[in-house]
């Protein structure tokens, strides 16, 4: 795939980029290794000062980088501004809290291990390779970079090839805030060059957010070289609605949960599993809300849904819907590709989904909702868990026993009750099953790329 900025609203190629040479890539890896030697010896206070300065820069430049994201991958301008604001919040959270989250952990009874003192101290590993996707091109980088830099690690970014302008913005952002040169840098390379970087002995670990095949590839390469990885992969999140739910609110949130980021989010709700006692009422509200969304120019503040990011992504959604309809799925709204330049697909709701249809098992990365009818909580949980994915799950009920059952039984890294799955700097983020392993954010996130060093003193 060429490294290029292509406007998905029109299909027009705006700028093409030349991949960095092997010598330039080596220079940047060397720079990250050299910066690590300096950064690891700085104090939390110093790193926090730099992180706050970086957050201030990003806050000041929100409109600029938001426009870049919208032009490169089609998210609405409102969503792009919100993403930049979230990044600022994440940076400030780790600037304020990293020292506390990474404080030494003393063992309360050192005499039991024959010591006068024993504790665990968290130390950085070194340069970390981050392989990142296009769908949240700023946030998914920052949610790795902010905690990693506050630990004292350095970072090298291999970003998706369709967001090079965003990648180059990130290339200098942290050094502009005060971090030493080389602390965070972009590698403008193709996917075929990732293995050479990952196997370099100066790279100590890797994190990837992206597709399941990409995750398997990076994990396999890293495993051969005994390198730690954190993977956040796909999702086919359930959105369960029980009879006691507030149906008006559930339908409204369901619409956002499915169509956020033009439907291109790993944690977007994709399978709407509704109890038969409230199915018709919910379906009516949900289809009406999906139909009412405004599809149009992503630079227009009034637009709800913009284009899909890539032509291949739009084609994948078309094919999944066509497969389902051809096998008997019922289209409740949407389902027809607009005849216009760019890579558009309308908010769509399908019912009567069966296991013979591809979308029953595959992730649909676009604004297409699958609607299922179930007769009990047990049936809802069984259907929710049938997928190979396990990223997030949503459940709507005001019954306390049902809430407890969903928290206990849904196979997911995150369960949200009467809301929609999202990410917060304060809370761990990640999945189970084929959605990956490890955690970002919260208290566990920074520790993923630390040496948890045990100290015993006589």
Active site residue ranges = 232, 266
Would you say the C-alpha torsion 271, 273, 279, 282 has a positive or negative sign?
negative
Please report where in the chains the tokens 């799955």 appear, as a residue: 421
Residue 112: both structure tokens together: 């039991």
Residue 158 phi, psi dihedral angles, 5° rounding: -105, 105
Please report where in the chains the tokens 């769509």 appear, as a residue: 348
What is the Rg, in whole angstroms, of the alpha carbon atoms belonging to the chain? 23
CB atoms within 10 A of CB 37: 12
CA distance linking residue 95 with residue 425, whole number of Å: 11
According to DSSP, the residues that pair with 124 across neighbouring strands are 450
Answer yes or no: are the C-beta atoms of 92 and 99 closer than 8 Å: no
Task: Please write down the HEC assignment for all residues of the chain.
Answer: CCCEEEECCCCEEEEECCCCCHHHHHHHHHHHHHHHHHHCCCCHHHHHHHHHHHHHHHHHCHHHHHHHHHHHHCCCHHHHHHHHHHHHHHHHHHHHHHHHHCCCEECCCHHHHCCCEEEEEEEECCEEEEECCCCCCCHHHHHHHHHHHHHCCEEEEECCCCCHHHHHHHHHHHHHCCCCCCCEEECCCCHHHHHHHHCCCCCCEEEEECCHHHHHHHHHHHHHCCCEEEEECCCCEEEEECCCCCHHHHHHHHHHHHHHHHHCCCCCEEEEEEECCCHHHHHHHHHHHHHHCCECCCCCCCCCECCCCCHHHHHHHHHHHHHHHHCCCEEEECCCCCCCCCCCCCCEEEECCCCCCHHHCCCCCCCEEEEEEECCHHHHHHHHCCCCEECEEEEECCCHHHHHHHHHHCCCCEEEECCCCCCCCCCCECCEECCEECCECCCHHHHCCEEEEEEEEC
């Amino acid at each position: 795939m060429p490294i290029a900025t292509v406007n998905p609203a029109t299909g027009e190629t705006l700028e093409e980029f030349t991949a960095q040479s092997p010598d330039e890539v080596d220079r940047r890896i060397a720079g990250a290794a050299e910066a690590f030697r300096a950064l690891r010896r700085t104090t939390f206070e110093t790193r926090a000062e730099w992180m706050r300065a970086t957050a201030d820069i990003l806050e000041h430049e929100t409109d600029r980088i938001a426009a870049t994201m919208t032009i490169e991958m089609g998210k609405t301008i409102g969503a792009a501004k919100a993403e930049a604001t979230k990044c600022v919040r994440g940076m400030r959270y780790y600037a304020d809290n990293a020292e506390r989250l990474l404080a030494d952990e003393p063992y309360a009874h050192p005499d039991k291990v024959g010591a006068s003192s024993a504790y665990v101290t968290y130390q950085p590993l070194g340069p970390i390779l981050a392989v990142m996707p296009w769908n949240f091109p700023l946030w998914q980088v920052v949610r790795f970079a902010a905690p990693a830099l506050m630990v004292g690690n350095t970072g090298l970014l291999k970003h998706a090839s369709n967001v090079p302008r965003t990648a180059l913005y990130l290339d200098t952002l942290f050094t502009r805030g005060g971090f030493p040169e080389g602390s965070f840098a972009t590698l403008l390379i193709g996917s075929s060059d990732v293995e050479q970087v990952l196997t370099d002995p100066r790279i100590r670990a890797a994190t990837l957010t992206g597709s399941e095949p990409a995750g398997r590839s990076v994990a396999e390469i890293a495993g051969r070289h005994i390198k730690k990885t954190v993977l956040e992969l796909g999702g086919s999140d359930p959105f369960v609605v029980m009879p006691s739910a507030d149906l008006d609110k559930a339908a409204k949130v369901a619409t956002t949960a499915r169509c956020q980021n033009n439907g291109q989010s790993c944690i977007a709700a994709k399978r709407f599993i509704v109890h038969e006692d409230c199915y018709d009422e919910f379906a009516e509200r949900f289809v009406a809300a999906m139909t009412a969304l405004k599809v149009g120019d992503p630079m227009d503040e009034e637009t709800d849904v913009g284009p899909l990011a890539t032509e291949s992504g739009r084609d994948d959604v078309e094919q999944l819907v066509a497969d389902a309809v051809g096998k008997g799925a019922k289209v409740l709204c949407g389902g027809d590709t607009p005849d216009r330049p760019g890579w558009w697909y309308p908010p769509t709701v399908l019912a009567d989904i069966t296991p013979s249809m591809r979308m029953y098992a595959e992730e649909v990365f676009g604004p297409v909702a699958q609607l299922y009818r179930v007769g009990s909580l047990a049936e809802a949980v069984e259907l929710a868990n049938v997928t190979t994915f396990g990223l997030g799950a949503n459940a709507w009920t005001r019954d306390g026993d049902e809430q407890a059952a969903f928290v206990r039984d849904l196979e997911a890294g995150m369960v949200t009750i009467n809301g929609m799955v999202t990410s917060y700097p304060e809370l761990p983020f990640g999945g189970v099953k084929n959605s990956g392993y490890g955690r970002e954010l919260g208290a566990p996130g920074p520790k993923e790329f630390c040496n948890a060093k045990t100290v015993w003193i006589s």
